[in-house]
Chain A
Amino acid sequence: MPRKFLSGDEAVAEGIRLAQPDVISAYPITPQTVTVERLSEFVANGELESHYMYVESEHSALAAAIGVSAAGARAFTATSSQGLLYMAECLTYASGGRFPIVMMNANRATALPWNIYGDQRDSIALLDHGWIQAYAEDAQEALDLCLMAYKIAEHPDVLTPFMINLDGFALTHTFESVDVPDNKDALDFVGRYEAFNCFSFDEPKNIGYSAGPAYNKYFKYDEHLGMNCALKVIDEVERDFEARFGRSYPGALESYHMEDTELCILTLGSISGLVRECVDIARERGIKLGLVKLRYLRPLPSGQLAQALAGIKALCVLEKDISFGAEGTVFTNIKSVLYDYKIELECFNVIAGLGGDDILPQDIKQIVNTLVDISHNKPYKRLQFLGIDTLQEG
Chain B
Amino acid sequence: MAAINHKTLREDEFFFGHKACAGCGASLVLRHVLKILGPNAVSVLPAGCMSAVGFNFPNLAFQNNSMISPFAATAPVMSGIRAGFDMRKKRGDKIPDDFCVVGFAGDGATADIGLAALSGAIDRDDNLLYICYDNEAYMNTGVQKSSLTPFGAKTTNTPVGTQIQGALSNKKNMFEIVAAHNISYAATASIGYLPDFLKKVAKAKDMPGTRYIHVIAPCPTGWGHADKDTINFAKAIVDCGLWYLAEYEAGDYKISRRPKEFGSIKDYLHSQSRFRALDDAAIAHIEAERDAKWAYIDTHWS
Contacts and interface: CB of A to CB of B under 8 A. Distances in A.
B52 interface: yes
B64 A63 contact: no
A302 interface: no
Contacts of A267: none
A66 B44 CA distance: 12
A61 to B, nearest CB: 8
| Chain A contact residues, majority secondary structure | mixed
A265 interface: no
Interface of A: 22-23, 25, 49-51, 53-57, 59-61, 63-73, 75, 89-90, 93, 97, 192, 199-201, 204-212, 215
B83 interface: yes
A353 to B, nearest CB: 32
A72 B84 contact: yes
B51 A67 contact: no
Contacts of A61: 76
24 contacts: A25-B80, A53-B80, A59-B117, A61-B76, A63-B72, A63-B77, A64-B79, A64-B80, A66-B77, A67-B76, A67-B78, A67-B83, A68-B83, A70-B81, A199-B42, A200-B65, A201-B40, A201-B65, A204-B39, A209-B55, A209-B67, A210-B52, A210-B56, A212-B56
Contact of A206 (B60, B69, B72, B82): B60
Given A22-B87, A199-B42, A204-B64, A53 B79 contact: yes
Nearest to B98: A201
Contact of A54 (B39, B42, B70, B124): B124
B55 A56 contact: no
Interface string B193-222: 000000000000000000000000000000
A60 B117 contact: yes
Nearest to A56: B120
B268 interface: no
B289 interface: no
Interface in B68-94: 68-70, 72-73, 75-88, 90-91, 93
Given A57-B117, A67-B77, A23 B87 contact: yes
B116 interface: yes
B80 A210 contact: no
Contacts of A97: 67
Contacts of B82: 67, 71
Nearest to B42: A199
A22 B88 CA distance: 8
A205 B84 CA distance: 16
Contacts of A53: 79-80, 83, 124
A212 B58 CA distance: 10
A64 B76 CA distance: 5
A211 B67 contact: no
